[in-house]
Structures are given as C-alpha cells and as structure tokens.
Amino acid sequence: MTAAMSSTSSERARRRRPRLSDEAAVHVRELIISGQLKAGEYIRPEVVADDLGMSATPAREGLLQLQTEGFLKVEPRRGFVVSPLSPKDVSDTFEAQALLAGELCARTAGLATSADVKALQNIQTRLEEAAERGDLAEVEELNFEFHRAIYHISDAPKIHWLLASTLRYAPRRFYPTIGGWPDASSHDHHAILKALRASDSEAARQAMAGHIRRAGELLAQHLSTDR
C-alpha cells in the first residue's frame, strides 16, 4: 500500500468514527428521553466526561449541541439544566416524522424491485426470530436496518435528511425497553411489506405513517407514566 493510499484509508476511518462530542450528546439525550435525567436537573460536563471516559471539552461541546436542540438550557453561573420535555412535544415530533417517513415509503413502493422486497422480508424474518428469543438489542438493530433500507431505496436524500433531524427524539437503544414496542415493530412491518410487494404507494404511505405514529404514542405514554 502506498503512503497516499494509507493516508486516504486513515482519513476514511476517522470520518467513520463518531466525534466525541456527538457521543456525549447521544448519551445525555438518551438519559433525558428515558427519564433518567428530569426537567430542572443540572448536568456538568465533568460528570459526562467521567461517565464516558473522555475529556471535559468534547463533553461540553455535546451539551452545547443539546442546548441548540432544546434539550438543555444554560442558566447564568449555574450551568446546563434539563429543559421540560412533555409527551405532547414527543407526539408532535413523531407526527412530523410520520409524514416524512410516509412520503419516503410511498416513493419506495414505486421503485422497489422484487429483490429489494425479498431483502426486506429477510430482515423482517430475522427481526421476528430475535423477538422470539427475547433479544431486544437485535430487534432494535434489525428494525433500524429495515427502515434504513426502505429510506435508501426511496432515492430522496433531502427528505431523508429532514427525517433524520426528528430521530433525536427516538433514541434507538432506549426503544426496546418501551412496553409494546417490539410487538408493534414486528406487526406493523407486515403491512408495510404488503404495500411494497403490491407497489401500492398510498398503502405504503399509510402503513409507514401509522407505524411511526404508534411508536410515538408508546413513547409518549411511557413519558406520561414515568414523570
């Protein structure tokens, strides 16, 4: 391998690795949405840094990122404090997500080949097998893979980018702990697959939008009982 190729490989590897500040933001965001950090509680960069084994600088950058997203606010001389997050906030975000995801799925219905649908069915089969085993981490990973594949086929990167901005309210690692979510994920995907198999764009839109709205309802219910 030449020096130039080695340098290029190293640069690609660095780009694939998440920034430490992003890691800190993901960690704290999930603590907030799961209810482990509640509205009005203070959080210090040094504590986040100790939890994640990083320096305080990227931890602080991660908290500043959450401030711009509305999860935290800064009080003079006191630092970062968790902002209120109501079930309605979550429901509103998921409503936007449902509209965007529905549009992507509708476009996929017009573009997906039989091989695409077969690959999606394979993911779904593995997801259901993981659910039967009680392997919720695998269920979550396969659910993410299922949705990612559908959105990729849609060939609508700008809409996908907008959708991604709503996913901050849907922490992947937290979902399997929400009552009813694994069953809903398994059940709702069948309607999506049926619509894609028939190349029915409107049915695909409704199936995906309904799936996302149910996920939002489950999370909102969790927040209502937890807080």
Q: What is the pLDDT of residue 215?
A: 84
Place of tokens 């290029």: 8
Instruction: Check residue 9 and give its pLDDT.
Output: 45
**Coil, strand, or helix at residue 21?**
helix
pTM of full prediction above 0.95: no
- Evaluated on CA atoms 199, 205, 207, 212, the torsion sign reads positive
- What gap in Å lies between CA 208 and CA 222, rounded to an integer? 21
pLDDT of residue 5: 44
Residue 155 in tokens: 């060939």
Q: What is the mean pLDDT of each run of 10 residues along the chain (227 residues)?
A: 46 56 90 85 95 94 92 91 85 92 98 98 94 86 94 96 82 63 79 98 97 85 66
Q: Report which DSSP code applies to 53.
A: T
pLDDT of residue 177: 62
79/73 Cα distance (integer angstroms) = 8
Q: Identify the bridge partners of residue 81 per DSSP, sorted by sequence position.
A: 42, 73
